[in-house]
A = this chain, B = another copy of it.
Amino acid sequence: MQIDEVDQRIIASLVADARSSYAEIGSRVSLSAPAVKRRVDRLRAAGVIRGFTTVIDPAAVGWNTEAFVELFCTGRTTPTQITVATRRHPEVVAAYTVSGEADALVHLRAADIAHLEQALERLRAEPFVTSSRSMIVLSRLVDSPTVVPAPS
C-alpha cells in the first residue's frame, strides 16, 4: 500500500496518543477532521494500522517477572507447531523463529518467579523441545512502543 508523508504523520500522532481526536490530528497535519478519518479508515482497512491499544504497567496488574527462553527443537519441527504450542501458554507474550543456535525465542511474562518456573516447565514439556536456555529479565532498560520513522 501507498503511504505518503501525511499518512506517516497521522500514524506518528496516533502512536503517540491513540485517543487524540481527528480534529486535533488534523490541525497538526493541516487537514480537516473528515479527511483524517478517511485516511485512518483506509490505513486500518489496509492493515497498516492494526489497532488501538493501551499501554499498561505490567507490575501494576500483577505481572512482575519476565523471561526470554531460547528453544532448541527436534529436527523436523515446523514454525506452525511452535506457534500453536506457544499460543496455548497464556504466559507467552511473543515467540519468534530465529537464526543462530536456537530454533525459537519465546518471551514470557509471569506473576512471579514461581509462576515463571511453572510456565517454563510446561513449555519445556512440549514434545518437540529438546532443550532450552532461559534468560530472566532483571530490569527493563529500554522499552519503545511501536516506532514509525521513515527508514531512508
Chain A positions within 8 Å of B, measured between CB atoms, are: 1, 3, 8, 11, 14-19, 46-58, 60-63, 66, 68, 70, 79, 82-83, 86-87, 90, 92-102, 104-105, 109-111, 115, 133-152
Contact = CB atoms under 8 A, between A and B. Distances in A.
Contacts of A60: 1, 3, 46-48
Contacts of A98: 68, 135-138
A150 B49 contact: no
Given A11-B54, A18-B18, A137-B98, A92 B142 contact: yes
A136 B99 contact: yes
A150 to B, nearest CB: 6
Contacts of A109: 147
Contacts of A92: 142, 144
A137 to B, nearest CB: 5
Contacts of A96: 66, 68, 135, 137-141
A125 to B, nearest CB: 18
Contact of A16 (B46, B53, B134, B136): B53
Given A62-B151, A151-B111, A54 B138 contact: no
A76 to B, nearest CB: 16
B100 A143 contact: no
Contacts of A136: 98-100
